Structure 1
Amino acid sequence: MRRLVILLLVAMLVVPVSVNAGTIGGKDNPGGVPGQWYVGDTPSNVDPNKPVLVFVHGINSSSKTWWENNNMYQTALNNGYETAFIDVHPDKNMWDNGAIINSRIRDISNHFNQKKIVIVAHSKGGIDAQNALVHYGAHPYVSNLITLSTPHYGSQLADLAYSGWAGWLASILGSKNDATYSLQTGYMNSYRPQIDNHTNRNRNKIYTLAGTSWGGFGSALYWGGLYLSSYGSNDGAVTVNNSRLTYSTQVRVSNWNHTTVREGGTFQYFRPYLTTSQTAGFSLAEAAATVEPMEQEPINISALHRGGQFQKEVKQTFTVEENVQKIDLDWLSDKQTKDIKVISPSGKVYTTFVHSIDQEIFKGGHHHSFQITSPEKGQWTVKAKKDKAAYLMTVGFHTDLNEEVVLEDATFELKNKGQKVKNMNVDVKINKDGKAKADFGMKVPNKGKVDVDFKEEGVYTITLDVKGTTKNGNSFERTIVKSFYVDKNGNRY
């Protein structure tokens, strides 16, 4: 009997056993239980022509994100919409969460007497929701899908978590989970055809919104925006380019960050698409014919990364070349650290930084952010003290030199445009599924192609540490991170 009870308890922990609706603010304390769903308050006048709005949260979050310190739920209620909220796993991939959403959508539809549903999803929740509609077949219950800054083509921050420099920290923070793994751009490049070429892909219309603000200096999203700036406009977590699909309708791109894009201020923009009508289906051939590959912009060199673990004290150095207008230095650690010094080539010491806590891919990590204008050229030093800690140092350079060296996405060719850079050497580190796979160097006078001829299935992360000389004879250094996926047949994505 004791063994049976234990097995039942384990099963209850693994499988969401409750499919009943809770109530916001009710005794069930909604929010945070994967597989549970909740119904909002009933509007004073229920309009049968309005769909039910079902909200789905993103990575490292819960359904509470829609009503705690957020007026999105209240805005929907004030506008006369019935609402429901689904909790999915904050650390699982789209296949696991898609199955949950598929089941709960059917429960919610029954609860509201088969009234049509519009899903409003934030961040990775949009990927999970589309998986439920297309792969698991929940599309008949839903008219439209609204995605708020969803990384439909992955997030380069997920790539960073599996790179050589960030690996120690990501492991300690628990960032290396199924959710982050599935958000790597290489994995998403292999995932997209599975959904985009599916016969159910056009059963529901998709409307996207995206942001271009990082929040204020020193915020966790500012650091994310700084890193992602090498890949284009972004909201501190997701690039605008990755937030849209070739067959979706882009509703608006505005100065939202990854937090404010899910708040009530965006409601007015997607409200016209809260309809009960549903797009007619297409055949598989018709659906596939409408999909065009997403063109990715070349990656430029705007940041430098260093990281690892230390006990008691650690020292890192980095080089600043001429004509740099400003540097943003972020020391991301698993522990808050008070004793951090940034020392210029002439010996000037900077100790003032802004502290914030990450809420996205590196959730729980402590950001210590410095901003230094008109930095001296030469070698800088960073010293940090703590009993034991892991860290990732990121230095963002504000300078025209960033545009001089680019990595072509399709060919993995590193190109020197030759206007300001004389020459450069590149140390190449390749990780497979977060573990070291290859390490080699290459000289790049004008261009050089990175050898990525791997056949073993998995996600590979390339870290390129670039060191070179400008035309004026000064040293510079940067880091580029890129991922790709190899399937079981040896095909690369």
Structure 2
Amino acid sequence: MFKKMIMTIVALFLFLPSWSQAGSFGNDDPSGVPGQWYVGTTPSYVAPSKQPILFVHGLNSSSNTWWNENNMYDTAYQNGYETAFIDLYPTKNMWDNGALLAQKIREIYNYYGEKVVVVAHSKGGIDTQSALVHYGAFPYVSRVITLSTPHHGSQLADLAYSSWAGWLAGILGSKNDATYSLQTGYMAYFRSETDQHVNVNKNPIYTFGGTKWGGFGSSLYWGGLYLWGYGSNDGAVTVNSSRLPYATELRVGDWNHFTIKEGSSTFNLFRDYLNEGTTNSSGAKIQSSEHSSSYNTETASYVRGGETNGKKQEKVLVEEGAESVTFDWMSNIPSSRLTLEDPKRKIHSSFKVTKDEGEYFNGAYHFTLTIPNPVPGEWTLQSTSVNSEKYLMDVTFESPVNDAVNVNIAQGEISLKKNDIKLDLQQDITIEYYKNGKVKESKMKLKDGTLKLPKLGEGVYNVTIDIDGAKDKKKFKRTFIKTIYVDQTGKIFGQ
């Protein structure tokens, strides 16, 4: 009773809408304390069939993501729904957040006296499933709606833990328990622990996925480019990863990773799934064959990174037949001066500069330039700055070469499949892992396009494959990055 009284006071003093519009909180933003939850303003009339909505935020976020520059809270209010909002740990994994969320879901259930519908964005969907399946919160929730949740992890998390991106990700604070757990290898392990659990089907799940990137040069645009070889994506999560074989997919639309959680974008599409009596009979059921955990992919990127004390040159080979090439130089400082020289000695310097506001390299500065119909040969990208710099260079190609080779990890083996018998390949493989708190690296070579992984201890291992090849005697270079997880028994996940 006391708890309910406290939460009512919070609702009255913090969530009273300005001008009778829910979500207009002014400068008194109550969000940010992990474990704290808030009650939205109660509409003047709530139909008995309308269940309360609990909104769960994603990675590096907080509860205010649902009302700051977002009309989701107001849309729910105007449609006559009671609402609650929760703050989780922004940088902790699904186990820590799942345990915390399960406890708070029980409190919210007791407050309303009925089950709630969870609407979760991004990693919030994984934290929610952890709470329901592994920490026993399923009796208090009727169903779950996930908005661009990386149910199978994100290749951007893999990149953040790669040897090339480690310098930049480390100084930005991108390496934390949350991004660690979102690596595709670890998420394959989480899926194995979750998808066969006795509680997994206690709550119906409905999913949304996005296919639109952000504006040119933005973090979501760059993320979309990097993920392009892995399939349709919203700049942070692929459509493939947003799906679960036992969930109902409600819609895949032209949203990016930020707009998919806006009320004006998706609320009307899931509104019919917020009420008592909703069944699991409509929507498109995703068959398990539509998700491949091996993530067969085109190799579309060339990646380099590191540290420089003021001047750095990177050489980039652009093959004949490339339709376009996009250079994206990410730096921890905004003052870098970049110039790009093509094989004919022409200088290109019209880079667009934007600050990353995404989930994996937040705070980095992007210097982006796209060259259509590039001159084949060796290009030189040079960065000059007065300060030391941590950087990551991602070069994305639109080229027929992208589908010349596929990389697979299966049954403890890494293999490169040539889709053209005339293709010549050389491969350098780096396996990076942590031991006794320190980063260890092991460089290996493939034999006949295959490498059997050595016996590895428990942990997440980042596999970076640098490909140096030629197709019809036209040279090209690509980088492929993937993670695997090895459990205590030596079983490998992420295949």
Which residue is equivalent to 2:419?
Answer: 417
Alpha-carbon offset, residue 291 of structure 1: 7.7
Describe the shift of the 1:293–1:171 C-alpha distance in structure 2 as closer, same or farther (beyond 3 A).
Answer: same
Aligned pairs for 1:3-14 (under 5 A) are none
Instruction: State the Cα deviation string for residues 74-115 of structure 1 (Å, max 9, x = none).
Output: 111111111010001110000111112111111212222x12
Of the three residues 305, 308, 333, the one matched with 1:307 is: 305
Alpha-carbon offset, residue 334 of structure 1: 1.2
Structure 2: distance between partners of 1:138 and 1:233: 33
Secondary structure at the counterpart of residue 485 of structure 1: strand
Which residue is equivalent to 2:343?
Answer: 345
Describe the shift of the 1:157–1:405 C-alpha distance in structure 2 as closer, same or farther (beyond 3 A).
Answer: same
Structure 2: distance between partners of 1:450 and 1:483: 15
Which residue is equivalent to 1:249?
Answer: 248
One-letter identity of the residue aligned with 1:215: G
Describe the shift of the 1:212–1:247 C-alpha distance in structure 2 as closer, same or farther (beyond 3 A).
Answer: same
Matched, 1:441 2:445: yes
Which residue is equivalent to 2:76?
Answer: 76
Contact 1:235 1:256 in 2 (8 A): yes
Alpha-carbon offset, residue 488 of structure 1: 0.8
Describe the shift of the 1:70–1:274 C-alpha distance in structure 2 as closer, same or farther (beyond 3 A).
Answer: same
Aligned pairs for 1:254-293 (under 5 A) are 254-264=253-263, 265-277=265-277
Contact 1:345 1:379 in 2 (8 A): yes
Alpha-carbon offset, residue 303 of structure 1: 0.5
Structure 1: distance between partners of 2:106 and 2:83: 14
Which residue is equivalent to 2:171?
Answer: 172
Which residue is equivalent to 1:15?
Answer: none
Aligned pairs for 1:468-487 (under 5 A) are 468-471=469-472, 473-487=473-487
Structure 2: distance between partners of 1:27 and 1:342: 44
Matched, 1:465 2:466: yes
Instruction: State the Cα deviation string for residues 200-236 of structure 1 (Å, max 9, x = none).
Output: 1111000000001112211110110111111111111
Matched, 1:211 2:210: yes
One-letter identity of the residue aligned with 2:226: Y
Secondary structure at the counterpart of residue 243 of structure 1: coil
Alpha-carbon offset, residue 193 of structure 1: 1.8
Describe the shift of the 1:291–1:256 C-alpha distance in structure 2 as closer, same or farther (beyond 3 A).
Answer: closer
Secondary structure at the counterpart of residue 192 of structure 2: helix
Alpha-carbon offset, residue 441 of structure 1: 3.1
Which residue is equivalent to 1:491?
Answer: 491
Secondary structure at the counterpart of residue 226 of structure 1: helix
TM-score (norm 1): 0.90
Alpha-carbon offset, residue 412 of structure 1: 2.4
Could you say what the CA RMSD is over the residues aligned between the two structures, in angstroms? Answer: 2.0
Alpha-carbon offset, residue 440 of structure 1: 2.3
TM-score (norm 2): 0.89
Secondary structure at the counterpart of residue 325 of structure 2: strand
One-letter identity of the residue aligned with 1:315: Q
Secondary structure at the counterpart of residue 253 of structure 1: strand
Alpha-carbon offset, residue 450 of structure 1: 2.7
Structure 1: distance between partners of 2:319 and 2:190: 40
**Stretch moving more, 249-258 or 410-419:** 410-419
Structure 1: distance between partners of 2:141 and 2:147: 17
Structure 2: distance between partners of 1:218 and 1:325: 19
Describe the shift of the 1:415–1:311 C-alpha distance in structure 2 as closer, same or farther (beyond 3 A).
Answer: same
Structure 2: distance between partners of 1:156 and 1:277: 38
Alpha-carbon offset, residue 338 of structure 1: 4.1
In structure 2, the gaps of 5 or more residues are 1-5, 16-24, 281-286
Instruction: State the Cα deviation string for residues 278-300 of structure 1 (Å, max 9, x = none).
Output: 889xxxxxxxxx98894244121
Alpha-carbon offset, residue 26 of structure 1: 8.2
Structure 1: distance between partners of 2:288 and 2:349: 51
One-letter identity of the residue aligned with 1:437: E
Which residue is equivalent to 2:181?
Answer: 182
Aligned pairs for 1:120-139 (under 5 A) are 120-139=119-138
Matched, 1:295 2:292: yes
Alpha-carbon offset, residue 28 of structure 1: 6.2
